[in-house]
Structure 1
Amino acid sequence: MRQKGFDYQPVKENPVPQAREFPYVLDDVAWAREHGYGSDIQHALSELRRTDANQRYFRGLPAGRRAAALAAANGSPPLTVTARAPDGMVYQRSPAGCQSQADATLYGNLQEWFRAKVTADALTEIRHAEVSGDPRFTKALKPWSACMRAAGHPAAGPADLRAAAGSRTPPLARGEEIALAVTEARCARSSGLAETARALDLQYARSLARQYHRAVRSYRQLQLNALSRARDLTREAGTPS
Protein backbone atom coordinates (compact mmCIF):
# COMPACT_ATOMS: atom_id res chain seq x y z
CA MET A 1 0.00 0.00 0.00
CA ARG A 2 2.88 2.39 0.72
CA GLN A 3 4.34 1.67 -2.71
CA LYS A 4 0.99 2.71 -4.20
CA GLY A 5 0.91 5.91 -2.18
CA PHE A 6 -1.28 4.93 0.77
CA ASP A 7 -0.82 4.30 4.47
CA TYR A 8 -1.76 1.03 6.09
CA GLN A 9 -1.26 -0.19 9.65
CA PRO A 10 -1.19 -3.97 10.27
CA VAL A 11 -3.89 -5.06 12.70
CA LYS A 12 -4.49 -8.23 14.68
CA GLU A 13 -6.69 -10.83 13.03
CA ASN A 14 -8.48 -11.47 16.32
CA PRO A 15 -8.21 -8.29 18.42
CA VAL A 16 -10.66 -9.58 21.06
CA PRO A 17 -9.48 -13.10 21.97
CA GLN A 18 -12.58 -13.71 24.13
CA ALA A 19 -14.79 -13.66 21.02
CA ARG A 20 -16.27 -17.08 20.31
CA GLU A 21 -18.96 -18.56 18.13
CA PHE A 22 -21.51 -21.10 19.29
CA PRO A 23 -23.16 -22.25 16.04
CA TYR A 24 -25.48 -24.80 17.66
CA VAL A 25 -26.01 -23.84 21.28
CA LEU A 26 -24.16 -21.86 23.90
CA ASP A 27 -22.60 -24.61 26.02
CA ASP A 28 -19.84 -22.89 28.04
CA VAL A 29 -21.25 -21.88 31.42
CA ALA A 30 -18.13 -19.99 32.50
CA TRP A 31 -18.04 -17.98 29.26
CA ALA A 32 -21.78 -17.24 29.52
CA ARG A 33 -21.36 -16.10 33.12
CA GLU A 34 -18.69 -13.61 32.03
CA HIS A 35 -19.99 -12.50 28.63
CA GLY A 36 -23.67 -13.42 28.43
CA TYR A 37 -24.34 -13.67 24.72
CA GLY A 38 -21.28 -11.56 23.96
CA SER A 39 -22.81 -8.07 23.88
CA ASP A 40 -19.72 -6.78 25.70
CA ILE A 41 -17.50 -8.33 23.03
CA GLN A 42 -19.61 -6.88 20.22
CA HIS A 43 -19.34 -3.47 21.87
CA ALA A 44 -15.56 -3.85 22.08
CA LEU A 45 -15.38 -4.88 18.41
CA SER A 46 -17.56 -1.94 17.38
CA GLU A 47 -15.33 0.41 19.33
CA LEU A 48 -12.24 -1.05 17.68
CA ARG A 49 -13.81 -0.55 14.25
CA ARG A 50 -14.74 3.02 15.15
CA THR A 51 -11.22 3.89 16.31
CA ASP A 52 -9.34 1.74 13.78
CA ALA A 53 -6.44 3.75 12.33
CA ASN A 54 -6.97 2.36 8.83
CA GLN A 55 -10.68 3.18 8.86
CA ARG A 56 -10.01 6.70 10.12
CA TYR A 57 -7.39 7.16 7.41
CA PHE A 58 -9.71 5.79 4.73
CA ARG A 59 -12.67 7.95 5.84
CA GLY A 60 -10.43 11.01 5.79
CA LEU A 61 -9.43 10.57 2.15
CA PRO A 62 -11.14 12.59 -0.61
CA ALA A 63 -13.64 10.54 -2.61
CA GLY A 64 -11.29 10.03 -5.55
CA ARG A 65 -8.39 8.96 -3.37
CA ARG A 66 -10.73 6.68 -1.42
CA ALA A 67 -11.69 4.84 -4.62
CA ALA A 68 -8.02 4.59 -5.57
CA ALA A 69 -7.19 3.17 -2.13
CA LEU A 70 -9.86 0.49 -2.53
CA ALA A 71 -8.49 -0.39 -5.95
CA ALA A 72 -4.97 -0.55 -4.54
CA ALA A 73 -6.05 -2.89 -1.77
CA ASN A 74 -8.43 -5.12 -3.71
CA GLY A 75 -7.40 -4.64 -7.31
CA SER A 76 -9.55 -3.83 -10.33
CA PRO A 77 -11.12 -5.90 -13.11
CA PRO A 78 -10.45 -8.23 -14.75
CA LEU A 79 -11.16 -10.64 -11.89
CA THR A 80 -9.13 -13.54 -13.21
CA VAL A 81 -8.62 -15.42 -9.94
CA THR A 82 -11.71 -17.62 -9.57
CA ALA A 83 -12.95 -20.45 -7.40
CA ARG A 84 -16.16 -22.45 -7.23
CA ALA A 85 -17.39 -23.32 -3.74
CA PRO A 86 -18.97 -26.72 -3.00
CA ASP A 87 -22.42 -25.10 -3.08
CA GLY A 88 -21.81 -23.92 -6.65
CA MET A 89 -21.17 -20.26 -5.86
CA VAL A 90 -18.37 -18.74 -7.94
CA TYR A 91 -16.00 -16.28 -6.27
CA GLN A 92 -13.64 -13.96 -8.10
CA ARG A 93 -10.92 -11.51 -7.26
CA SER A 94 -8.29 -9.45 -8.99
CA PRO A 95 -4.68 -10.63 -8.88
CA ALA A 96 -3.48 -7.01 -8.91
CA GLY A 97 -4.54 -5.79 -5.47
CA CYS A 98 -2.25 -5.63 -2.48
CA GLN A 99 -4.21 -8.38 -0.72
CA SER A 100 -3.75 -10.73 -3.66
CA GLN A 101 -0.09 -9.80 -4.00
CA ALA A 102 0.45 -10.44 -0.30
CA ASP A 103 -1.32 -13.81 -0.53
CA ALA A 104 0.76 -14.77 -3.57
CA THR A 105 3.94 -13.88 -1.70
CA LEU A 106 2.93 -15.75 1.44
CA TYR A 107 1.28 -18.84 -0.04
CA GLY A 108 3.21 -19.13 -3.28
CA ASN A 109 0.30 -19.82 -5.62
CA LEU A 110 -2.56 -17.33 -5.48
CA GLN A 111 -5.03 -19.36 -7.56
CA GLU A 112 -4.40 -22.53 -5.57
CA TRP A 113 -4.69 -20.67 -2.26
CA PHE A 114 -7.88 -18.88 -3.26
CA ARG A 115 -9.51 -22.10 -4.44
CA ALA A 116 -8.53 -23.97 -1.26
CA LYS A 117 -9.64 -21.15 1.03
CA VAL A 118 -13.01 -20.73 -0.68
CA THR A 119 -13.65 -24.44 -0.25
CA ALA A 120 -12.47 -24.51 3.37
CA ASP A 121 -14.62 -21.51 4.31
CA ALA A 122 -17.66 -23.03 2.61
CA LEU A 123 -17.19 -26.36 4.37
CA THR A 124 -17.63 -24.66 7.73
CA GLU A 125 -21.07 -23.38 6.74
CA ILE A 126 -21.99 -26.70 5.18
CA ARG A 127 -20.99 -28.53 8.35
CA HIS A 128 -23.11 -26.24 10.51
CA ALA A 129 -26.11 -26.77 8.24
CA GLU A 130 -25.64 -30.54 8.20
CA VAL A 131 -25.47 -30.73 11.99
CA SER A 132 -28.49 -28.46 12.50
CA GLY A 133 -30.54 -30.50 10.04
CA ASP A 134 -29.57 -33.90 11.42
CA PRO A 135 -32.51 -35.78 13.03
CA ARG A 136 -30.29 -36.60 16.00
CA PHE A 137 -29.74 -32.90 16.65
CA THR A 138 -33.46 -32.20 16.24
CA LYS A 139 -34.21 -34.97 18.72
CA ALA A 140 -31.68 -33.59 21.21
CA LEU A 141 -33.40 -30.20 21.08
CA LYS A 142 -36.48 -31.58 22.84
CA PRO A 143 -34.94 -32.17 26.28
CA TRP A 144 -33.08 -28.87 25.97
CA SER A 145 -36.36 -27.11 25.21
CA ALA A 146 -38.02 -28.82 28.18
CA CYS A 147 -35.17 -27.69 30.42
CA MET A 148 -35.50 -24.09 29.22
CA ARG A 149 -39.28 -24.18 29.62
CA ALA A 150 -38.90 -25.43 33.20
CA ALA A 151 -36.56 -22.49 33.83
CA GLY A 152 -39.21 -20.06 32.58
CA HIS A 153 -37.81 -19.51 29.08
CA PRO A 154 -39.89 -21.49 26.57
CA ALA A 155 -38.13 -21.89 23.22
CA ALA A 156 -38.06 -24.56 20.55
CA GLY A 157 -34.34 -24.07 19.97
CA PRO A 158 -31.38 -21.77 20.66
CA ALA A 159 -32.03 -19.74 17.51
CA ASP A 160 -35.60 -19.00 18.62
CA LEU A 161 -34.36 -18.08 22.09
CA ARG A 162 -31.78 -15.64 20.70
CA ALA A 163 -34.29 -14.12 18.28
CA ALA A 164 -36.78 -13.51 21.08
CA ALA A 165 -34.10 -12.08 23.35
CA GLY A 166 -32.73 -9.86 20.59
CA SER A 167 -36.16 -8.41 19.76
CA ARG A 168 -36.89 -7.37 23.34
CA THR A 169 -37.83 -3.70 23.81
CA PRO A 170 -36.12 -2.36 25.77
CA PRO A 171 -33.13 -4.65 25.23
CA LEU A 172 -32.19 -7.15 27.91
CA ALA A 173 -30.32 -5.61 30.80
CA ARG A 174 -26.81 -6.94 31.27
CA GLY A 175 -27.80 -9.07 34.24
CA GLU A 176 -30.78 -10.53 32.37
CA GLU A 177 -28.61 -11.35 29.36
CA ILE A 178 -26.07 -13.17 31.51
CA ALA A 179 -28.76 -15.08 33.43
CA LEU A 180 -30.45 -16.23 30.22
CA ALA A 181 -27.14 -17.23 28.60
CA VAL A 182 -26.09 -19.19 31.69
CA THR A 183 -29.45 -20.98 31.70
CA GLU A 184 -29.04 -21.89 28.02
CA ALA A 185 -25.55 -23.24 28.65
CA ARG A 186 -26.60 -25.25 31.70
CA CYS A 187 -29.55 -26.75 29.84
CA ALA A 188 -27.27 -27.53 26.89
CA ARG A 189 -25.04 -29.58 29.15
CA SER A 190 -27.67 -31.23 31.35
CA SER A 191 -29.97 -32.15 28.43
CA GLY A 192 -27.22 -33.72 26.35
CA LEU A 193 -27.62 -31.23 23.49
CA ALA A 194 -24.06 -29.97 23.86
CA GLU A 195 -22.65 -33.50 23.70
CA THR A 196 -24.80 -34.39 20.69
CA ALA A 197 -23.78 -31.23 18.85
CA ARG A 198 -20.08 -31.84 19.48
CA ALA A 199 -20.32 -35.44 18.30
CA LEU A 200 -22.22 -34.51 15.15
CA ASP A 201 -19.89 -31.61 14.42
CA LEU A 202 -16.89 -33.94 14.57
CA GLN A 203 -18.65 -36.56 12.45
CA TYR A 204 -19.52 -34.11 9.68
CA ALA A 205 -16.12 -32.43 9.85
CA ARG A 206 -14.45 -35.77 9.19
CA SER A 207 -16.94 -36.70 6.47
CA LEU A 208 -16.50 -33.41 4.62
CA ALA A 209 -12.72 -33.59 5.01
CA ARG A 210 -12.80 -36.99 3.29
CA GLN A 211 -15.16 -35.79 0.57
CA TYR A 212 -13.07 -32.71 -0.19
CA HIS A 213 -9.73 -34.20 0.84
CA ARG A 214 -7.74 -32.57 -1.96
CA ALA A 215 -8.86 -29.05 -1.13
CA VAL A 216 -8.52 -29.62 2.62
CA ARG A 217 -5.04 -31.11 2.25
CA SER A 218 -4.00 -28.29 -0.08
CA TYR A 219 -5.34 -25.67 2.35
CA ARG A 220 -3.40 -27.12 5.28
CA GLN A 221 -0.22 -27.62 3.29
CA LEU A 222 -0.29 -24.07 1.94
CA GLN A 223 -0.71 -22.76 5.48
CA LEU A 224 2.20 -24.84 6.74
CA ASN A 225 4.43 -23.77 3.86
CA ALA A 226 3.54 -20.14 4.54
CA LEU A 227 4.92 -20.30 8.08
CA SER A 228 8.54 -20.32 6.98
CA ARG A 229 7.88 -17.55 4.45
CA ALA A 230 6.15 -15.49 7.14
CA ARG A 231 9.15 -15.89 9.47
CA ASP A 232 11.51 -14.80 6.69
CA LEU A 233 9.33 -11.82 5.82
CA THR A 234 9.02 -10.62 9.41
CA ARG A 235 12.77 -11.11 9.91
CA GLU A 236 13.51 -9.05 6.81
CA ALA A 237 11.07 -6.38 7.97
CA GLY A 238 12.65 -6.31 11.41
CA THR A 239 9.42 -7.21 13.19
CA PRO A 240 9.00 -9.93 15.85
CA SER A 241 7.80 -13.30 14.51
Structure 2
Amino acid sequence: MLAVAAAAVVATGCSGTAASQDATRVPVGALQPLTDTEQLRVADAEQRLIKQCLNRHGFTYWEAERLSLEESRTLGYVADDVAWARKHGYGSRIAAKEDRARLNNPNLVYRKGLSEERRKAYDEAMDGGIDAQVITAEVPGGRTVNRQMGGCVAEAEKKLYGDTRAWFRADKISMNLQQLYVSDVMRDKQFTTALNAWSRCMRRVGHPYGNPGEARQAAKGQSVNSASAKTFAAERRLAVADATCARDASLRSIGTNRETHYLNKLRDKYGEAIDTSRRIQREALTRAQRIVGPRA
Protein backbone atom coordinates (compact mmCIF):
# COMPACT_ATOMS: atom_id res chain seq x y z
CA MET A 1 0.00 0.00 0.00
CA LEU A 2 2.95 2.37 0.49
CA ALA A 3 3.31 3.08 -3.21
CA VAL A 4 -0.44 3.48 -3.62
CA ALA A 5 -0.58 6.09 -0.87
CA ALA A 6 2.43 7.89 -2.25
CA ALA A 7 0.82 11.23 -2.99
CA ALA A 8 -0.22 11.86 0.56
CA VAL A 9 1.92 9.90 2.97
CA VAL A 10 4.89 7.66 2.50
CA ALA A 11 5.18 6.82 -0.86
CA THR A 12 3.82 4.15 -2.63
CA GLY A 13 -17.11 -9.10 -22.94
CA CYS A 14 -17.03 -9.87 -26.80
CA SER A 15 -15.84 -13.38 -27.03
CA GLY A 16 -14.13 -15.24 -24.20
CA THR A 17 -15.62 -17.26 -21.35
CA ALA A 18 -16.14 -15.43 -18.10
CA ALA A 19 -12.94 -15.20 -16.06
CA SER A 20 -14.94 -15.91 -12.93
CA GLN A 21 -15.19 -19.48 -14.20
CA ASP A 22 -11.38 -19.77 -14.18
CA ALA A 23 -10.28 -22.62 -11.96
CA THR A 24 -7.35 -20.58 -10.65
CA ARG A 25 -8.31 -19.27 -7.23
CA VAL A 26 -6.06 -17.60 -4.71
CA PRO A 27 -6.73 -18.05 -1.01
CA VAL A 28 -7.50 -14.71 0.63
CA GLY A 29 -5.10 -15.49 3.54
CA ALA A 30 -1.94 -13.36 3.51
CA LEU A 31 -2.57 -11.61 0.22
CA GLN A 32 -0.29 -8.73 -0.65
CA PRO A 33 -0.98 -5.97 -3.18
CA LEU A 34 0.72 -6.41 -6.55
CA THR A 35 4.21 -5.07 -6.99
CA ASP A 36 4.96 -2.47 -9.65
CA THR A 37 6.32 -5.22 -11.90
CA GLU A 38 3.18 -7.32 -11.47
CA GLN A 39 0.87 -4.38 -12.12
CA LEU A 40 2.72 -3.68 -15.36
CA ARG A 41 2.20 -7.29 -16.45
CA VAL A 42 -1.56 -6.93 -15.96
CA ALA A 43 -1.63 -3.57 -17.77
CA ASP A 44 0.31 -5.02 -20.70
CA ALA A 45 -2.08 -7.97 -20.91
CA GLU A 46 -5.03 -5.59 -20.99
CA GLN A 47 -3.46 -3.74 -23.91
CA ARG A 48 -2.94 -7.02 -25.76
CA LEU A 49 -6.55 -8.07 -25.22
CA ILE A 50 -7.87 -4.69 -26.40
CA LYS A 51 -5.76 -5.00 -29.54
CA GLN A 52 -7.03 -8.50 -30.28
CA CYS A 53 -10.64 -7.41 -29.78
CA LEU A 54 -10.33 -4.33 -32.01
CA ASN A 55 -8.61 -6.39 -34.68
CA ARG A 56 -11.62 -8.71 -34.70
CA HIS A 57 -13.80 -5.65 -35.30
CA GLY A 58 -11.68 -4.71 -38.30
CA PHE A 59 -9.62 -1.94 -36.71
CA THR A 60 -5.89 -1.46 -36.17
CA TYR A 61 -4.59 -0.84 -32.67
CA TRP A 62 -1.11 -0.18 -31.33
CA GLU A 63 -0.35 -1.28 -27.80
CA ALA A 64 0.90 1.46 -25.48
CA GLU A 65 4.62 2.08 -25.55
CA ARG A 66 6.32 -0.05 -22.92
CA LEU A 67 8.89 1.61 -20.71
CA SER A 68 11.53 -0.63 -19.17
CA LEU A 69 11.01 -1.96 -15.64
CA GLU A 70 13.62 0.49 -14.40
CA GLU A 71 11.86 3.42 -16.04
CA SER A 72 8.43 2.30 -14.81
CA ARG A 73 9.25 2.40 -11.13
CA THR A 74 6.73 4.06 -8.81
CA LEU A 75 8.79 6.37 -6.62
CA GLY A 76 6.26 6.95 -3.88
CA TYR A 77 6.48 9.76 -1.35
CA VAL A 78 9.66 8.24 0.06
CA ALA A 79 12.28 7.31 -2.54
CA ASP A 80 15.33 5.63 -1.01
CA ASP A 81 17.02 3.93 -3.97
CA VAL A 82 20.24 5.93 -4.21
CA ALA A 83 21.46 4.22 -7.39
CA TRP A 84 18.19 4.95 -9.22
CA ALA A 85 18.25 8.57 -8.04
CA ARG A 86 21.85 8.96 -9.21
CA LYS A 87 20.81 7.85 -12.70
CA HIS A 88 17.28 9.25 -13.05
CA GLY A 89 16.91 11.93 -10.38
CA TYR A 90 13.18 12.18 -9.73
CA GLY A 91 12.35 10.82 -13.17
CA SER A 92 11.78 14.09 -15.04
CA ARG A 93 13.28 12.75 -18.25
CA ILE A 94 11.22 9.58 -17.98
CA ALA A 95 8.08 11.70 -17.54
CA ALA A 96 9.05 13.74 -20.59
CA LYS A 97 9.47 10.50 -22.55
CA GLU A 98 5.99 9.41 -21.49
CA ASP A 99 4.56 12.78 -22.51
CA ARG A 100 6.11 12.46 -25.97
CA ALA A 101 4.67 8.97 -26.33
CA ARG A 102 1.19 10.24 -25.46
CA LEU A 103 1.44 13.12 -27.90
CA ASN A 104 2.62 10.79 -30.65
CA ASN A 105 0.18 8.00 -29.89
CA PRO A 106 -0.44 6.29 -33.25
CA ASN A 107 -3.96 5.34 -32.17
CA LEU A 108 -4.97 9.03 -32.05
CA VAL A 109 -3.61 9.59 -35.54
CA TYR A 110 -5.35 6.46 -36.78
CA ARG A 111 -8.71 7.40 -35.28
CA LYS A 112 -8.48 10.93 -36.63
CA GLY A 113 -7.91 9.56 -40.13
CA LEU A 114 -11.10 7.47 -40.10
CA SER A 115 -14.29 8.62 -41.76
CA GLU A 116 -17.00 9.93 -39.44
CA GLU A 117 -18.93 6.67 -39.74
CA ARG A 118 -15.88 4.51 -39.11
CA ARG A 119 -14.79 6.73 -36.22
CA LYS A 120 -18.15 6.19 -34.52
CA ALA A 121 -17.82 2.44 -35.07
CA TYR A 122 -14.29 2.55 -33.66
CA ASP A 123 -15.45 4.35 -30.51
CA GLU A 124 -18.26 1.88 -29.99
CA ALA A 125 -15.91 -1.04 -30.47
CA MET A 126 -13.37 0.48 -28.10
CA ASP A 127 -15.53 1.33 -25.09
CA GLY A 128 -19.17 0.94 -26.08
CA GLY A 129 -19.61 4.60 -26.98
CA ILE A 130 -22.06 6.92 -25.24
CA ASP A 131 -24.62 4.15 -24.75
CA ALA A 132 -22.31 1.89 -22.73
CA GLN A 133 -23.64 0.69 -19.39
CA VAL A 134 -22.54 2.56 -16.26
CA ILE A 135 -21.21 0.83 -13.17
CA THR A 136 -20.98 2.56 -9.80
CA ALA A 137 -19.19 2.25 -6.50
CA GLU A 138 -19.69 4.13 -3.25
CA VAL A 139 -16.30 4.97 -1.79
CA PRO A 140 -15.22 6.09 1.70
CA GLY A 141 -16.43 9.60 2.37
CA GLY A 142 -19.81 9.00 0.78
CA ARG A 143 -18.85 9.82 -2.81
CA THR A 144 -20.16 7.72 -5.67
CA VAL A 145 -17.77 6.90 -8.50
CA ASN A 146 -19.25 6.10 -11.91
CA ARG A 147 -17.69 4.55 -14.97
CA GLN A 148 -18.95 3.56 -18.39
CA MET A 149 -18.17 -0.05 -19.17
CA GLY A 150 -18.42 -1.46 -22.68
CA GLY A 151 -16.68 -2.54 -25.85
CA CYS A 152 -13.20 -4.02 -26.05
CA VAL A 153 -12.10 -2.33 -22.83
CA ALA A 154 -14.88 -4.11 -20.95
CA GLU A 155 -14.04 -7.40 -22.65
CA ALA A 156 -10.38 -7.12 -21.71
CA GLU A 157 -11.17 -6.32 -18.10
CA LYS A 158 -13.70 -9.13 -17.87
CA LYS A 159 -11.14 -11.63 -19.15
CA LEU A 160 -8.62 -10.42 -16.60
CA TYR A 161 -10.72 -9.60 -13.54
CA GLY A 162 -13.80 -11.77 -13.97
CA ASP A 163 -16.65 -10.06 -12.16
CA THR A 164 -15.90 -6.49 -13.25
CA ARG A 165 -18.55 -4.98 -10.99
CA ALA A 166 -17.06 -6.66 -7.93
CA TRP A 167 -13.58 -5.65 -9.06
CA PHE A 168 -14.56 -2.03 -9.69
CA ARG A 169 -16.27 -1.69 -6.32
CA ALA A 170 -13.49 -3.33 -4.28
CA ASP A 171 -10.73 -1.52 -6.15
CA LYS A 172 -12.30 1.92 -5.76
CA ILE A 173 -12.96 1.39 -2.06
CA SER A 174 -9.39 0.19 -1.46
CA MET A 175 -7.88 3.04 -3.46
CA ASN A 176 -9.84 5.64 -1.51
CA LEU A 177 -9.01 4.45 1.99
CA GLN A 178 -5.99 6.76 2.14
CA GLN A 179 -8.12 9.75 3.09
CA LEU A 180 -9.20 7.89 6.23
CA TYR A 181 -5.71 7.27 7.62
CA VAL A 182 -3.28 9.69 5.93
CA SER A 183 -3.64 12.34 8.64
CA ASP A 184 -3.06 9.69 11.34
CA VAL A 185 0.19 8.61 9.71
CA MET A 186 1.36 12.20 9.30
CA ARG A 187 0.77 12.82 13.02
CA ASP A 188 2.20 9.50 14.18
CA LYS A 189 5.15 10.00 16.54
CA GLN A 190 7.33 7.31 14.98
CA PHE A 191 6.78 8.72 11.51
CA THR A 192 7.28 12.37 12.50
CA THR A 193 10.49 11.44 14.34
CA ALA A 194 11.84 9.76 11.21
CA LEU A 195 10.67 12.66 9.04
CA ASN A 196 12.46 15.15 11.30
CA ALA A 197 15.61 13.06 11.08
CA TRP A 198 15.32 13.13 7.27
CA SER A 199 14.89 16.92 7.32
CA ARG A 200 17.93 17.45 9.58
CA CYS A 201 19.99 15.23 7.30
CA MET A 202 18.90 17.24 4.25
CA ARG A 203 19.74 20.56 5.92
CA ARG A 204 23.23 19.30 6.72
CA VAL A 205 23.89 18.84 3.00
CA GLY A 206 22.40 22.17 2.00
CA HIS A 207 18.78 21.28 1.18
CA PRO A 208 16.42 22.95 3.71
CA TYR A 209 13.24 21.00 3.04
CA GLY A 210 10.72 19.81 5.60
CA ASN A 211 9.61 16.67 3.76
CA PRO A 212 10.31 14.71 0.57
CA GLY A 213 7.34 16.29 -1.19
CA GLU A 214 8.88 19.74 -0.86
CA ALA A 215 12.20 18.53 -2.25
CA ARG A 216 10.56 16.86 -5.20
CA GLN A 217 8.38 19.87 -5.94
CA ALA A 218 11.45 22.10 -5.97
CA ALA A 219 13.13 19.81 -8.49
CA LYS A 220 9.99 19.66 -10.59
CA GLY A 221 9.76 23.43 -10.69
CA GLN A 222 13.30 23.65 -11.99
CA SER A 223 12.78 20.96 -14.65
CA VAL A 224 9.64 22.70 -15.92
CA ASN A 225 11.64 25.87 -16.54
CA SER A 226 14.63 24.14 -18.09
CA ALA A 227 15.45 20.74 -19.54
CA SER A 228 19.17 21.49 -19.69
CA ALA A 229 21.89 19.07 -18.64
CA LYS A 230 22.77 21.44 -15.79
CA THR A 231 19.20 21.39 -14.45
CA PHE A 232 19.04 17.59 -14.68
CA ALA A 233 22.37 17.29 -12.84
CA ALA A 234 20.95 19.46 -10.03
CA GLU A 235 17.83 17.28 -9.94
CA ARG A 236 19.96 14.16 -9.59
CA ARG A 237 22.04 15.66 -6.77
CA LEU A 238 18.92 16.60 -4.84
CA ALA A 239 17.32 13.19 -5.44
CA VAL A 240 20.48 11.41 -4.25
CA ALA A 241 20.55 13.48 -1.07
CA ASP A 242 16.83 12.78 -0.56
CA ALA A 243 17.27 9.02 -1.01
CA THR A 244 20.40 8.90 1.16
CA CYS A 245 18.71 10.76 4.01
CA ALA A 246 15.60 8.58 3.68
CA ARG A 247 17.77 5.51 4.12
CA ASP A 248 19.65 7.00 7.06
CA ALA A 249 16.35 7.85 8.76
CA SER A 250 14.67 4.52 7.83
CA LEU A 251 11.82 6.69 6.60
CA ARG A 252 10.38 4.17 4.15
CA SER A 253 10.29 1.19 6.51
CA ILE A 254 8.84 3.27 9.35
CA GLY A 255 6.29 4.84 7.04
CA THR A 256 5.25 1.46 5.70
CA ASN A 257 4.91 0.08 9.22
CA ARG A 258 2.75 2.97 10.41
CA GLU A 259 0.61 2.93 7.29
CA THR A 260 -0.06 -0.78 7.77
CA HIS A 261 -0.92 -0.14 11.41
CA TYR A 262 -3.59 2.45 10.58
CA LEU A 263 -4.90 0.58 7.57
CA ASN A 264 -5.45 -2.50 9.74
CA LYS A 265 -7.65 -0.40 12.01
CA LEU A 266 -10.05 -0.04 9.08
CA ARG A 267 -10.35 -3.77 8.46
CA ASP A 268 -13.51 -4.27 10.48
CA LYS A 269 -15.38 -2.07 8.01
CA TYR A 270 -13.34 -2.40 4.83
CA GLY A 271 -11.43 -5.66 5.18
CA GLU A 272 -13.70 -7.53 2.78
CA ALA A 273 -13.13 -4.93 0.06
CA ILE A 274 -9.36 -4.94 0.63
CA ASP A 275 -9.17 -8.73 0.44
CA THR A 276 -11.48 -8.92 -2.56
CA SER A 277 -9.38 -6.35 -4.41
CA ARG A 278 -6.14 -8.18 -3.70
CA ARG A 279 -7.60 -11.59 -4.56
CA ILE A 280 -8.93 -10.37 -7.90
CA GLN A 281 -5.61 -8.64 -8.62
CA ARG A 282 -3.78 -11.92 -8.02
CA GLU A 283 -6.16 -13.83 -10.26
CA ALA A 284 -5.75 -11.18 -12.96
CA LEU A 285 -1.97 -11.54 -12.70
CA THR A 286 -2.22 -15.29 -13.21
CA ARG A 287 -4.26 -14.74 -16.37
CA ALA A 288 -1.96 -11.95 -17.55
CA GLN A 289 1.02 -14.27 -17.29
CA ARG A 290 -0.59 -16.48 -19.93
CA ILE A 291 -1.06 -13.54 -22.28
CA VAL A 292 2.14 -11.48 -22.20
CA GLY A 293 5.70 -11.90 -21.04
CA PRO A 294 7.42 -9.73 -18.43
CA ARG A 295 9.06 -6.45 -19.30
CA ALA A 296 12.82 -6.34 -19.49
User: Structure 1 stretch 36-45 or stretch 166-175: which is displaced more?
Assistant: 166-175
1:145 aligns with 2:145: no
- Provide the rounded CA distance (Å) in 2 between the counterparts of 1:70 and 1:130: 44
CA distance in structure 2 between the aligned counterparts of 1:26 and 1:224, rounded to whole angstroms: 26
TM-score, L = length of structure 2: 0.66
Q: Are residue 29 (structure 1) and residue 29 (structure 2) matched? A: no
Ranges in structure 2 where 5+ consecutive residues have no aligned partner: 1-53
Q: Which amino acid aligns with 2:101?
A: L
Structure 2 vs 1, CA of residues 146 and 49 (structure 1 numbering), >3 Å: closer, same or farther? Answer: same
Tell me, in whole angstroms, the C-alpha distance in 2 between the residues paired with 1:57 and 1:218: 38
Alignment TM-score, normalising by the size of structure 1: 0.78
- After TM superposition, the runs of 4+ consecutive aligned structure 1 residues lying more than 6 A away are none
| Identical aligned residues as a percent | 35
Contact 1:72 1:98 in 2 (8 A): yes
Give the secondary structure class of the aligned counterpart of 1:181: helix
- Is the 1:73–1:97 Cα contact (8 Å) retained in structure 2? yes
How far residue 20 of structure 1 moved from its aligned partner, in angstroms, is: 2.3
Paired with 1:194 and 1:109, the residues of 2 have a C-alpha distance of 35
Q: Quick one: higher RCO (CA 8 Å, sep 6+), 1 or 2?
A: 2
1:19-55 deviations in Å (ceiling 9; x for gaps): 2233332211111111111122213322332443323
Rounded Cα–Cα distance in structure 1 between residues aligned with 2:289 and 2:220: 44
> Which of 189, 200, 204 in structure 1 is aligned with 2:258?
200
Per the alignment, do residues 65 and 32 of structure 1 end up closer, same or farther by CA in structure 2, a change over 3 Å counting? same
> Residue 233 of structure 2 is aligned with which of 172, 175, 178?
175
In the alignment, what sits opposite 2:172? Answer: 118
Distance 2:96 2:186 in 1: 28
1:93 aligns with 147
Match of 1:222 in 2: 280
Contact 1:106 / 1:226 at 8 angstroms: preserved in 2?
yes
The residue that corresponds to 2:208 in the other structure is: 154
Q: Mark the CA change 1:218 to 1:62 in structure 2 (over 3 Å): closer, same or farther.
A: same
In 2, are the aligned partners of 1:16 and 1:45 still within 8 Å (CA)?
Answer: no
Q: Which stretch shows the higher mean deviation, 77-86 or 183-192?
A: 77-86
User: What amino acid does structure 1 have at the position aligned with 2:81?
Assistant: D
**SS in structure 2 at match of 1:146:** helix
8 Å contact 2:194–2:251 — kept in the other structure? yes
Number of aligned residues = 235
**CA deviations over 1:58-101 (Å, ceiling 9, x no partner):** 34445665455344322324643111122333222234332123
Q: Per the alignment, in what secondary structure is the counterpart of residue 83 of structure 1?
A: strand
The residue identity in structure 2 corresponding to 1:26 is A
Question: Do structure 1's residue 17 and structure 2's residue 69 form an aligned pair?
Answer: yes
Q: What's 1:57 paired with?
A: 110
Structure 2 distance, partners of 1:82, 1:106, is: 19
The answer for unaligned runs of 5 or more in structure 1 is: none
Find the aligned partners of 2:198 and 2:167 in 1 and give their Cα distance. Answer: 41
Contact 2:215 2:238 in 1 (8 A): no
In structure 2, the CA distance between the partners of 1:90 and 1:202, relative to structure 1 (3 Å rule), is: same
Query: Structure 2: how far apart are the matches of 1:106 and 1:130?
Result: 35
Q: Which residue of 1 aligns with 2:36?
A: none
Does the 8 A contact of 1:49 with 1:55 survive in 2? no
* 1:194–1:3 CA distance, 2 compared to 1 (3 A): closer
Partners of 1:94 and 1:100 within 8 A in 2? no
> Cα gap change, 1:180/1:7 in structure 2, threshold over 3 Å: closer, same or farther?
same
Quickly say closer, same or farther: Cα 1:139–1:112, change in 2 above 3 A. Answer: same
Q: Distance in 2 between matches of 1:229 and 1:186?
A: 38
Aligned to 1:165: 219
Q: In the alignment, what sits opposite 1:106?
A: 160
